[in-house]
């Protein structure tokens, strides 16, 4: 399964960065390009087993599906999986670095062969995903830092 | 799972001019839209509690106001002082909310 991995240093405590990412699934629409809607959040209480529906515009194609939090280890690790739609695993790692936090995002995903293979080569799609991951962590930094 | 070319239940919101951190959007709709119930939760997600007015919200040094037309609403977003990247993210996040936030079942008394 292909994956992308990007890190960034954020001037905020690990606990604050973790909460920003993990405590409100709908917040992801603010920093993930193309993620347009989060709905049907199963419970307001964050943690493993929290689930939600998502609607994602993946370079022109609208993909809908369901996600579930699979690991919630405050303040160091947060992971969720998109179970339907386009299967993927999103892992955020939060490590202290000086007075701030190094945030690492790793996304493992399946290339949606049936729908997209005809539009672009796999390598081009992987490059697009890599650029998007880079954009996500940069957006997080911009939103979390004052 | 589904894969489509269009979003379900999306509102048609087109962007107009942007000048001095003031964004103007035009939303076309057949029914009244509870804009306060769309923008207030979105602002809270990025750390801005808002105060509701008759046709708008104030958040920090920013605001979002809407003016109703017969079939459309003109929305003006004034962003607070912040970095260019954060301003861009606030604008794009609120535009997503205007287009895609689900308000089915929400009262429109504050629209």
pLDDT in tens, A22-59: 999 999 999 999 999 999 999 999 999 899 999 988 77
**Position with higher pLDDT, B8 vs A67:** A67
- Position B108 scores a pLDDT of 40
Please give the share of chain A, as a percent, with pLDDT higher than 90. 72
Question: Which one is predicted more confidently, A16 or A49?
Answer: A16
Structure confidence at residue A112 as a pLDDT band (50, 70, 90): low
- Contacts of residue A37 in chain B, CB cutoff 8 Å? 7, 96, 100-102
pTM of the prediction?
0.88
Name the strands in the sheet holding B62-68, side by side, starting at the edge strand that comes first in the sequence: B12-19, B22-28, B72-78, B62-68, B56-59, B51-53
Which pLDDT does position B111 carry in this prediction? 30
More confidently predicted of A111 and B38: B38
Q: Which carries the bigger pLDDT value, residue A87 or residue A114? A: A87
Q: Provide the shortest C-alpha distance from residue A145 to chain B (in Å).
A: 9
A87-103 pLDDT tens trace: 899 999 999 999 999 99
Cβ pair A27:B46 closer than 8 A: yes
pLDDT of A68 over the 70 cut: yes
Q: Does position B104 have pLDDT exceeding 60, yes or no?
A: no
What pLDDT does residue B4 have? 59
Q: Report chain B's mean pLDDT, rounded to a whole number.
A: 87
* Residue B71 confidence (pLDDT): 87
Query: Which of B93, B96, B98, B95 minimizes the C-alpha distance to B111?
Result: B98
Q: Which helix (H) or strand (E) holds B62?
A: strand B62-68
Residue given tokens 């049936």 in the structure block: A114
Of residues A2 and B51, the one with the higher pLDDT is B51
Does the pLDDT at position A83 exceed 80?
yes
What is residue B77's predicted lDDT score, i.e. its pLDDT? 98
More confident position, A114 or B27: B27
Contact B3 A61 (CB under 8 A): yes
CB contact under 8 A, A142 and B86: yes
Q: Is the pLDDT of residue B105 over 50?
A: no
Question: Best interface-test mutation with B: which of A53, A55, A111, A118 has the largest number of B CBs within 10 A?
Answer: A55
Between chains, do A62 and B5 touch, taking CB under 8 Å as contact? yes
pLDDT at B5 over 60: no
Mean pLDDT of B23-35: 92
A65–chain B nearest CA distance, Å: 5
- Residue B70 has a pLDDT of 82
Say whether pLDDT at A2 is over 90.
Answer: no
């Amino acid at each position: 399964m292909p994956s992308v991995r990007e890190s960034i240093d954020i001037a905020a405590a690990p606990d604050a960065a973790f909460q920003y990412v993990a405590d409100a699934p709908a917040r992801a629409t603010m920093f993930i390009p193309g993620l347009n809607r989060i709905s049907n959040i199963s419970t307001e209480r964050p943690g493993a087993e929290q689930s939600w529906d998502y609607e994602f515009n993946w370079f022109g194609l609208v993909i809908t599906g369901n996600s579930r939090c699979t690991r919630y280890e405050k303040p160091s690790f947060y992971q969720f999986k998109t179970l339907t739609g386009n299967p993927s695993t999103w892992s955020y790692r939060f490590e202290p670095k000086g007075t701030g936090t190094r945030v690492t995002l790793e996304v493992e995903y399946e290339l949606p062969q049936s729908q997209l293979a005809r539009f672009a080569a796999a390598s081009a799609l992987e490059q697009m995903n890599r650029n998007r991951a880079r954009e996500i962590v940069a957006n997080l930094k911009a939103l979390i830092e004052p | 799972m589904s894969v489509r070319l269009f979003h379900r239940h999306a509102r048609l919101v087109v962007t107009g001019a942007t000048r001095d951190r003031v964004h103007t959007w035009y939303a076309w709709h057949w029914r009244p839209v509870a804009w306060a119930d769309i923008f207030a939760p979105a602002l809270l997600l990025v750390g801005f509690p808002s105060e509701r007015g008759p046709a708008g919200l104030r958040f920090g040094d920013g605001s979002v106001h809407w003016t109703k037309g017969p079939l459309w609403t003109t929305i003006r977003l004034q962003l607070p002082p912040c970095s260019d990247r954060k301003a861009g993210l606030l604008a794009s996040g609120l535009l997503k909310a205007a287009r895609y936030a689900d308000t089915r079942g929400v009262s429109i008394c504050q629209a």
